[in-house]
Amino acid sequence: MIRIAGISQKGKRKLMISVLLYILIAVYAFPSIGQAAADYSERIQDISLMADPEEKYNHEYVKMAVSGSYIHIAWKAMSKDYSHNVIYYTRSGDGGISFETPRQLVKDSNQNDSEFRHEWNNFVADGAYVHLVYTIGWPRRLVYLRSVNNGETFYDPYILNAGGYYNYPGIHAAAENGKLAVVWAVSSDYATLLCDYSDDGGTTFKLVQMAQAASKSVSFTVHDLVRSGDYLYVLSSEYDGQYYHESRMFLWSSWNSGAAFNTPLQVTVPTAEGKDYATKIQDAHYSPNLTADGKLVNMVWINNDNPGSFDGWWAPTLRTRRSADGGLTLEEPVTLHTFPAGYQSGANAGLETITGKGSNLYITAVLSDKPAGTYVWRSGDSGKTWSIVAGVSAGGWWPLIRTDPSDAALIHLVNSGYYLSRDSGATFNGGVNPHYPFNDWQWEQFFVDDSGVGHLAAASGANASSYEILYRRLGPEPYPGSADKALTLVNEGNTRRDNMQVPAAPDLNPTGAMTLEFWFRRESEAYNSQTFVELVAKKRLLSGYSSYALGLWDNFQIYCRLVTDKSANSSYGEWLGSGFVPPLGQWTHIAMTYDAGPAADNLKLYVNGLLHGTVSIQGNILTDTMDSQLLIGNRDQNAGSGSFSVDEIRLWNMTRSQAEILADMGKQLVGNETGLAAYYNCNDTVRDITGRENDGFLMFRESFTTTGSKPPQVTALSPEIGAAGVSLSGRLTMTFNENILADAGDITIRDITANSAGTVFEVIPVKSSQVTVSGKTVTISPSLNFSTPRKYAVTMPATCFKSSGGLYFQGISSTLAWNFTTGEQGQSLLSVSPASWNVAKYAGTCDFRVSNTGTGTMNWTARVISGTWLRITSGFSGSGAGTVNCAFDANSDTSERRAVIRVTAAGAAGSPADVTVTQAKAFQTPPTFQPGPGMNDGSDDGSIDAGKDSEFYICRGEWSGTNTYISGVARSTCNDCNSKAYIQFDVSTLPDDVGKVYLVVTHLPHTEHCYSMCAANFYFYPVLTPWDEMSVPQTPPEEGEPILGPIPISFPNDFGKREYDITEIYRQWKNGTTPNNGLVIYSRDTGCINAPAFWGVYSSDNPEIAKRPYLKFAVKGDINGDGQSDLKDTVLILQIIAGIQPESGISLSADVDGDGRIGIAEVICVMQF
């Protein structure tokens, strides 16, 4: 989040909210069309509409109080004709399921008469008691309203103070066990801090003067009030107008419900000069800055460590402090976060809050400095020590954090999004947008009741002609009903986009293997046939793109999409189409599977359990948890209007076979099946049936509808799909899940040995004698014998078979779906995977799988036939499938070496099968690594094997993946002619233990023509996400913090060859702490650029090899610079230690421990080689 100067505070808030909503959900904006919430969503209740159906008021400053099953909501409404204000009240007695028609509790006669400030906590509930405090009139009176019957009726207003004050800076109330305290401050000639307390539920009050200012220049503000039993704690500030920016914050404590107070304790920390400045504590809504449990009270605030003078200089820190003796003493403060100094510090005062009791406490705050977002700190020792939790969200504003009375491990957080932790705040899920589609969400209030149900209320003006008060109940999803239902979702242009969101969690983030499957029915034709309509998709942070998705595209064909860390396009990844258009109004089962292990055909797409497409890809699936969701339904406005239903949504963290998909797709699961990560059967609930608690959230007007009958489904095929060794005269059988009837059409058998289209082998009419139907089984008897060895496929139209109810089996249209290879009956087929391994020079392990893809039995053995450095550790033999595990020694040779393992299976086709293991050579210097030339010819596949570099040059829409140079410049303020230089090396086979690593480049000379920005500082930044050198401008990758710089460059220059030390980022690439997506080099200096100073070098595409970039290494312990760390180096080191001058030069870059000397540490290092 970026703090921007020159924008009003309200503007900043709106900016932050809009940024959050883009990051959090990528919600497409809805028009402001004056419709009420009820017209948009059945999940959000428009509370104010019941009170003001003609929309004569702007409804703001919402307050909420929860007591048992009663939800109380009060708010201020301002008439649009500026004649008066109203305070409305409504309640729910059924836990937020329904609300009564709101009532007017207060109505004044002048726009400025009543005050019901958003930063006050002046509306509280205690059992059946409801307490409301406000001011009215001019001068203002302090007025109290109460109910003793859960808000059914309220007593007449009671004047707490009629002193004629013009300003009440802070009014807060706290109630517990029939005792009430109201603490308030007044501005007068001499400011006063007061407490009204009642021991009888508000029937009578006693007034206590806590403090009175000694000078007219002093004023008080009440920021927070909390009670625990008879202990009462107040957070207030004192401002002295005589000393600019001088203010202090104090903790007041009472042990007897407010009848008397201890001496206040200063909370804020003075600067070194002894000055004080208490920043604002509450922003545009109330959030607790105090939490108490008996004598223990904890607080959080942002302290200004350097209030300065008239320049208002900031040096803010986020701090917490506690008292363990009822407010008699304060322990030393704990600093949670130190912000950069200055106005652009990123310190959002008023956006910090605390919750918890006893030992477990939690603080949340929004940081706008790097890295921006919403963070949580937690303490397990009552606030003595604190630890930060990784960022919960990349955005956020006005956060609130609550513990769950029903489960101490549950922590709820709202910040315009809603996030949940199930492990006491250690981790949070990916969050959802609970107020979708209302983007302008202000004065938010959030509570969790005793049963664990969340209650969220706020004001919104984004989707209506006036601000409205909206409420959403965030309750546990019910258990499934007994009726078979489906979830139906409707898109109606920009006015309705039904969807279901599941907050991201590790269960929803498969990496190397996955299966996503569900039933789908098109209910209408109206969707845009050229837009990818995502049916089920896992979203990713920031990008808004999907990790994996199943949907419709290209005239409603079923497509899937998958993005891995090796995808050439990190936004869209790989696409795979089925060629199948699901019939309108009929159920179709679709599934996608992925297995990162196999090298070929490892992304598969199934329709009705039958294979319809494969593609070969590599890498682990790119996923995010923060601010990401599993999304069911399409919110893309380009998708147009339309509707569809889904049922039996299943996500697996394993690759399911076609046989497994066929066997289970027609039945409901229990939820405890092996590998099942999330499961939604849609029977009147979006609860996760696995018990993993990845429950969904419905967002609009989604509905559960009767499923109806599904078409007949194949449960088994013989021969099995992909079977080998099939009899030349064998029959073909299909088994369905119900009794079946033959209808019309032809069954076609094709010979697809040569290609997937194949040639027709035989056409068999479904009503001929060659097709026999008996109950659930169909037997097909070809009249011709198959040839061997040949590959055959069976296809048939949807009209061939139907159920007794008249629903048609949707046919087999793809030759991938049912195919087999002929051979002798019972022929086993030996298969090993992978057939080769490339391993590093270091000692390690590898393994490969043995399987029988034929039909007979198979016994096998494995042995090493070459390479004494490789040995089998387990899996020497087996029957059928098995795994061979191996270990290998380190390679000290300067050339790579190979070993071979042979697997033998007597009588099996494909035997013997060899696996080749190739081990990298020991690295030798002068170690340089120079790839190239680059394969940057416009059809780049993203490979970095041959060198990868690109220039992001957006001036005139140009960029370069093929130029002989790359360059980066400063950021232009007068035109869009900016450029960045990207470069990446494949370091996977390069050494880990190095002294230094240098990027060596040859600079372009810059000796003519510089008209502006002729000097700038340049930096190297790590690239955090994958990029394609041919399309960087379309999908610029994410960048990290600079790892090298500043590098000053000024005109004119001719640097020639230069070395840049990139040792630290190289080590991070090797140990995996930073992904290796290369570097980007440019300047963040700003100005009008015209032929400016630049960081420009020759690229890997340069025809002159000597000018191409390369990496240069210095090996640890390599004293003599010959590329080896050996006995020769040991001798040199001992000479140096003994004071003998070596005859040859020494390389200080071989320093092992970084002390700048050659000594014992280097001897030890060398002796280890």
Residue 661 vs residue 1032, higher pLDDT: 661
Distance of CA 340 to the CA centre of its chain: 27
pLDDT tens, position by position, 120-150: 899 999 999 999 999 888 788 899 999 999 9
What are 869-873's contacts with CB under 8 Å, separation 24+? 869/897, 869/899, 869/919, 870/899, 870/901, 870/917, 872/901, 873/845
- Count the Cβ atoms, other than its own, within 10 Å of residue 962: 17
The pLDDT of 596-612, averaged and rounded, is 90
DSSP code at position 924: -
How far apart, in Å, are the Cα atoms of 76 and each of 128, 139, 511, 990? 23, 19, 50, 67
Note whether 595 and 680 are same-domain residues.
yes
Supply the pLDDT for residue 441.
74
Residue 741 vs residue 1132, higher pLDDT: 741
Q: Last residue of some domain: 795, 822, 849? A: 822
Pairing of β 819-822 and β 557-562: unpaired
pLDDT at 942 exceeding the cut of 50 = no
Is there a domain that residue 941 lies in? yes
Is there a domain that residue 138 lies in? yes
Average pLDDT over the chain reads: 83
Is there a domain that residue 86 lies in? yes
pLDDT tens, position by position, 41-60: 678 888 988 888 888 888 88
pLDDT tens, position by position, 1047-1092: 999 888 888 889 899 988 998 998 888 888 889 999 988 888 888 8
pLDDT tens, position by position, 990-1023: 777 677 888 999 999 998 888 888 889 999 999 9
pLDDT tens, position by position, 779-830: 999 998 888 888 999 999 999 999 988 999 989 988 888 999 887 556 678 8
Q: Quickly state the pLDDT bin for 414 (edges 50, 70, 90).
A: very high
Note whether 428 and 546 are same-domain residues.
no
Is there a domain that residue 678 lies in? yes
CB contact at 8 A, 75 and 87 = yes
The pLDDT of 892-915, averaged and rounded, is 84
Supply the pLDDT for residue 320.
96
pLDDT tens, position by position, 709-738: 899 999 888 888 888 878 777 789 999 999
If 0-12 CB within 10 Å is exposed, 13-18 middle and 19+ buried, where does residue 538 land?
buried
CATH of the domain at 403: 2.120.10
Cα(first)–Cα(last) distance of the chain, in Å? 49
pLDDT at 945 exceeding the cut of 50 = no
Q: Quickly state the pLDDT bin for 4 (edges 50, 70, 90).
A: very low
H or E element in which residue 914 lies: strand 913-919
Note whether 451 and 560 are same-domain residues.
no
User: Tokens 């039996």, residue?
Assistant: 648
pLDDT at 771 exceeding the cut of 50 = yes
* Angle, helices 1160-1167/1127-1137, rounded to nearest 10 degrees: 160
If 0-12 CB within 10 Å is exposed, 13-18 middle and 19+ buried, where does residue 1142 land?
middle
If 0-12 CB within 10 Å is exposed, 13-18 middle and 19+ buried, where does residue 1144 land?
exposed
Helical spans, DSSP H, in 814-890: none
Task: Please report the sign of the dihedral spanned by the C-alpha atoms of residue 732, residue 734, residue 735, residue 739.
Answer: negative
CATH of the domain at 738: 2.60.40.1220
Radius of gyration from C-alpha coordinates of the chain: 36
Supply the pLDDT for residue 32.
33
pLDDT tens, position by position, 971-999: 887 776 778 888 888 887 777 767 788 89
Closest CA to 251 of 333, 144, 169, 308: 333
Supply the pLDDT for residue 1155.
53
Note whether 445 and 498 are same-domain residues.
no
Cα 354 to Cα 223: distance, rounded to the nearest angstrom: 14
Closest CA to 499 of 341, 754, 698, 255: 698
Note whether 226 and 312 are same-domain residues.
yes
List, in order, residues 6 or more apart from 843 with CB less than 8 Å away.
887, 888, 889, 890
Note whether 808 and 912 are same-domain residues.
no
Cα 112 to Cα 373: distance, rounded to the nearest angstrom: 37
Q: Which of 870-874, 905-909, 1164-1168 has the highest mean pLDDT?
A: 870-874
Is there a domain that residue 1117 lies in? no
pLDDT at 334 exceeding the cut of 90 = yes
Supply the pLDDT for residue 907.
72
Closest CA to 476 of 453, 508, 496, 445: 453
pLDDT at 521 exceeding the cut of 70 = yes
pLDDT at 455 exceeding the cut of 70 = yes
Is there a domain that residue 394 lies in? yes
Q: How many residues does the chain have?
A: 1169
pLDDT at 936 exceeding the cut of 50 = no
Q: Which of 197-201, 242-246, 875-879 has the highest mean pLDDT?
A: 197-201
pLDDT tens, position by position, 528-572: 667 788 899 998 875 568 899 999 888 889 999 999 999 888 888
Q: Domain containing 911: what range?
A: 830-919
The pLDDT of 217-232, averaged and rounded, is 93
Q: List the helix and strand counts (H, then E) for the chain.
A: 7, 80
Enumerate the β-bridge partners of residue 248: 238
The Cα angle at residue 442 between residues 439 and 444, in degrees rounded to 5: 110
Q: Which two tokens stand for residue 555?
A: 């005239």
List, in order, residues 6 or more apart from 1131 with CB less than 8 Å away.
none
Note whether 1159 and 1076 are same-domain residues.
no
pLDDT at 943 exceeding the cut of 50 = no
List, in order, residues 6 or more apart from 1072 with CB less than 8 Å away.
none
pLDDT at 941 exceeding the cut of 50 = no
Note whether 1088 and 1143 are same-domain residues.
no
Q: Which two tokens stand for residue 807?
A: 């629903």
Supply the pLDDT for residue 795.
94
Query: Taking the model in full, what pTM does it have?
Result: 0.69
CATH of the domain at 566: 2.60.120.200
Note whether 891 and 969 are same-domain residues.
no
Q: Quickly state the pLDDT bin for 931 (edges 50, 70, 90).
A: low
- Percent pLDDT > 90 in the chain is 41
Q: Quickly state the pLDDT bin for 13 (edges 50, 70, 90).
A: very low
Is there a domain that residue 523 lies in? yes
Note whether 933 and 1082 are same-domain residues.
yes
Is there a domain that residue 1120 lies in? no
List, in order, residues 6 or more apart from 864 with CB less than 8 Å away.
870, 871, 872, 899, 900, 901, 902
Note whether 870 and 812 are same-domain residues.
no
Number of domains in the chain: 6
Supply the pLDDT for residue 965.
82
Note whether 1148 and 1017 are same-domain residues.
no
